[in-house]
Structure 1
Amino acid sequence: MLILSCSFVKELLTVLLNVDTIHDGGNYRVKDKEKAQIFQALCASGTSTRREITVSLGFRPITVSRIVKELIEDRIITEGEPKMRSGKGRPEVELFPNYQRLSAVSLTVVSREIRGFLLNLNGEIISSAFISVPRESANSNIVNKIKGIIMTLLEVLPGDSELAGIGASLPGTVNTGEGQWISSSRWPELNNIPLSAVLSEYAVPVYLYRSLDPELEYQLYKNSDYRKGGTLLFHWGYGIGSAFAWKGKVLKSTLGRFGEIGHWQIVPESKKRCSCGSYGCLETEAALWAVLPELRKAYPEAPEDEPEFTNFIKEKDITGLEVIDNALGYVSLSLGNLYKVFYPDRILLLGPFISNGSILESLKQGFSRSIPEYTRSPIEFTVVDGSGGAAQGSVYYIFRKALKHLLKTRVNV
């Protein structure tokens, strides 16, 4: 069943927070940098005039006039009504960023639901579409579901907006270089989907990411402190996983997997089969899909969907249940072991289980007991909201690449 919603939830897309650095690290002219700085100034203020930009950036009026003319012709900014100045002088025309100039489709996965979002340049959700995909689905069915979501979103693409690309944040093994979704334990029949090639019919760039990487990228963009030293992102929900960044760069592997803490074998003699095919993995003892059958004996209404489970767990005190206590013990120990692999400066916690205050506190206490005493004091824990990070993180480079082209001046000097 396809669920479509339409909203304009405004959240400044992190690509707009540092537009003025868009040409850094490559060949560019001073005039290119000036064009990016002027657009950045408009994004930061929301509205401005040519005179106000001239004063705030210290540029020559002729430079500002020329670049603003280009930006208007490129449809990146628009002009508003004349604005009366205090005292004498002619009215000034207000300028506004045109966030509808570019749009992008973002695909994410929650539990066994594929979610699509159509976002504009400011991170506003123009439309969204969700569809559940049965566990037994094979390649063709999954591809058809994805295409159905994209087509539903493109039907509401504003007529004056250009589709800049498609970004997908996917669970399992993802070969980002080749654009292949290799496997996912949520859909055992999924096998080597050449997703970038399959979606080439839309004639836009397609970028695939391992699910937690764009979430961590998003947090790095939002908070410059996270780009100092090591940052570990830990997710505990339908599945269990992690991502790690060193000095602002997310670490990856050529295999398309990284930080697979959920598939660490913690009970070798266990008869519990993991969704990955192995036995005794951490997920078999602590992931939402594994604890749900036992949890439903006490709470039959416990949902499988992560956002719904988040609301459920905030209202119910499930601590004290044997299945939860066991899960906490295994997760605390595993997180402690993961910490001793990277020794990060901070740990970002994400997922529905983290949203329960009692579980969070027990996790921190168990974690503290599992690591050497001399490492405990500097550890910084932060609970992050994962409602939009993956969706925005997977289109960051799409918008940035498109903007970089538009923010090059056409003056050949």
Structure 2
Amino acid sequence: MLLTIDETRYDDAHQRDCARVAALLSDGESHSRPHVGEALQMTSTTTSRVVADLMERGLVIGEAGEKSGRGRPAVQFALNPLRLGATVIHISSRSLLGVLVDLSGRVIQRLGADVPTNANNETMAAAMRGLVTALVGQCPPGMAHMGTSVSVAGVVNVRDRTWLITSRWPHIRNLDLAAALATVTPVVVVCRHLDAEIAARTIKDAADTRDSTLLLHWGWGIGLAYSIDGEPFMPAGDPFGEIGHWRFNMLEQRPCGCGNHGCLETAAALWALLPQLRETWPELSEDEEIVAGQLTGLDLVARPEITTALHLVARSLANVCRLLFPRRVIVTGPFIGNLGIWDAFEDAFQAEGVMGGLGLPVLVADRSSEDYAIVGAVRPLLNLGLETFIRS
């Protein structure tokens, strides 16, 4: 369920009841007034007052249900997902994807913007503002825009809403995303792409995300997210999970976009491997979604640069497992779709072991999903927007 209710955030009982009813109706189903009262243990008087308030403000809509026996048919109530909307900016390879999402999490508009490799802070900020402005202009009549969630790749300080560095645009440094978008959106929420994705996976399949889960993305860059009992681990909003910038002595001559030398990404990230692979396959794309399909049928394992890359990533992952001891590891990215690479990667990971008699975590290959990232990024904004709406 996308919408949740934290009753401790409301001092007013009526506002708490409004939030509880909205959260209940967010399941997408229609409910009668008696069912709402029974489910939330509210009196009929309170239920009627709350539903009437939410209907007056357009957040809840009602229509007569099917007639059963004598008397008038019971009115069925449902959440009006088009009453509130939010925008999400998502990084897709070297492009920006902007989406307009309604209160149910459904994408109702999608726009893209290419950003040149040499873009600086000003260029990026202008591109983001343009996307948000265009999307807000596409809001259906009656929809209030709640704000914008920015899901970024690279190193980000979530607490300060600052995008520190990214290998996709090496000239971007310490971009204040809140300030960049302040003129076009009422609220700015910032998250890491991988944290948003692992949060959305938790929503979709809670049974598989109990205990602890590690999400490793091996693509244009290399990073990870970690969740405990379904909640992403984010230490006070500071940067986390940038194993792509772990340094190896054997790579010390290789410069990295972060400013150091010898980072894992310099030997294993798509941005580092692509020039070598294009010597044989010049048609290979920079776009992760496209190149994932292109790499599927290629004979890559015999290439020395690929062998080095997969062994370095496998050792890095094993070291992380010795630190966090996850029960499950999900590996995503364009490389793992190649069966030869995946088999060799699994073998290399198994050979690393973890520690003593401790078993290795379950290793799962899965394609990264843009949909996961969008849902995970917009969820906190929808809840914040609903709270603001109910308080108003």
Are 1:243 and 2:230 counterparts?
A: no
Moved more, 282-291 or 186-195: 186-195
- Given the superposition, is the C-alpha separation of residues 384 and 220 from structure 1 closer, same or farther in structure 2, using an over 3 Å criterion? farther
Name the CA distance, whole Å, in 2 between partners of 1:367 and 1:65: 59
The root-mean-square deviation of aligned C-alpha atoms, in Å, is 2.7
Which residue in the other structure is 2:164 paired with?
182
Structure 2 unaligned blocks of 5 or more = none
Which residue in the other structure is 1:11 paired with?
none
Report deviation, 1:155: 1.9
SS at structure 2 position matched to 1:403: helix
Residues 82-121 of structure 1 correspond to what in structure 2 (within 5 A)? 82-121=64-103
Give the one of 253, 266, 277 matched to 1:295: 277
Name the CA distance, whole Å, in 1 between partners of 2:251 and 2:360: 36
Name the CA distance, whole Å, in 1 between partners of 2:176 and 2:27: 39
Give the one of 255, 277, 280 matched to 1:273: 255
Size of the aligned set, in residue pairs, is 391
Which residue in the other structure is 2:385 paired with?
402
Which residue in the other structure is 2:155 paired with?
173
- Given the superposition, is the C-alpha separation of residues 27 and 133 from structure 1 closer, same or farther in structure 2, using an over 3 Å criterion? closer
Which residue in the other structure is 2:375 paired with?
392
Q: Given that residues 163 and 174 in structure 2 are in contact (C-alpha distance below 8 angstroms), is that contact kept between their aligned partners in structure 1? A: yes
Which residue in the other structure is 1:66 paired with?
49
Which residue in the other structure is 1:328 paired with?
310
Which amino acid in the other structure matches residue 91 of structure 1?
P
Name the CA distance, whole Å, in 1 between partners of 2:184 and 2:287: 30
Are 1:15 and 2:2 counterparts?
A: yes
Give the one of 42, 47, 52 matched to 2:25: 42
- Given the superposition, is the C-alpha separation of residues 99 and 137 from structure 1 closer, same or farther in structure 2, using an over 3 Å criterion? same
SS at structure 1 position matched to 2:181: helix
Which amino acid in the other structure matches residue 76 of structure 1?
L
Paired-residue identity, %: 30
SS at structure 2 position matched to 1:140: helix
Tell me the TM-score normalized by structure 1: 0.85
Give runs of ≥4 in structure 1 deviating > 6 Å.
none
Which residue in the other structure is 2:240 paired with?
258
Residues 192-207 of structure 1 correspond to what in structure 2 (within 5 A)? 192-207=174-189
SS at structure 2 position matched to 1:99: coil
Give the one of 73, 83, 106 matched to 1:124: 106
- Given the superposition, is the C-alpha separation of residues 41 and 260 from structure 1 closer, same or farther in structure 2, using an over 3 Å criterion? closer
String of CA shifts for 1:117-148, please: whole Å, max 9, x gaps: 11111111111222222221122211111112
Name the CA distance, whole Å, in 1 between partners of 2:61 and 2:185: 27
Report deviation, 1:180: 2.4
String of CA shifts for 1:258-306, please: whole Å, max 9, x gaps: 1111111124454322222322221111111111122223322211101
Name the CA distance, whole Å, in 2 between partners of 1:32 and 1:380: 45
Q: Given that residues 71 and 77 in structure 1 are in contact (C-alpha distance below 8 angstroms), is that contact kept between their aligned partners in structure 2? A: yes
Are 1:376 and 2:359 counterparts?
A: yes
Q: Given that residues 301 and 344 in structure 2 are in contact (C-alpha distance below 8 angstroms), is that contact kept between their aligned partners in structure 1? A: no
- Given the superposition, is the C-alpha separation of residues 139 and 43 from structure 1 closer, same or farther in structure 2, using an over 3 Å criterion? closer
String of CA shifts for 1:60-99, please: whole Å, max 9, x gaps: 433332222112112111123x333222221233322211
Tell me the TM-score normalized by structure 2: 0.89
Which amino acid in the other structure matches residue 68 of structure 2?
S
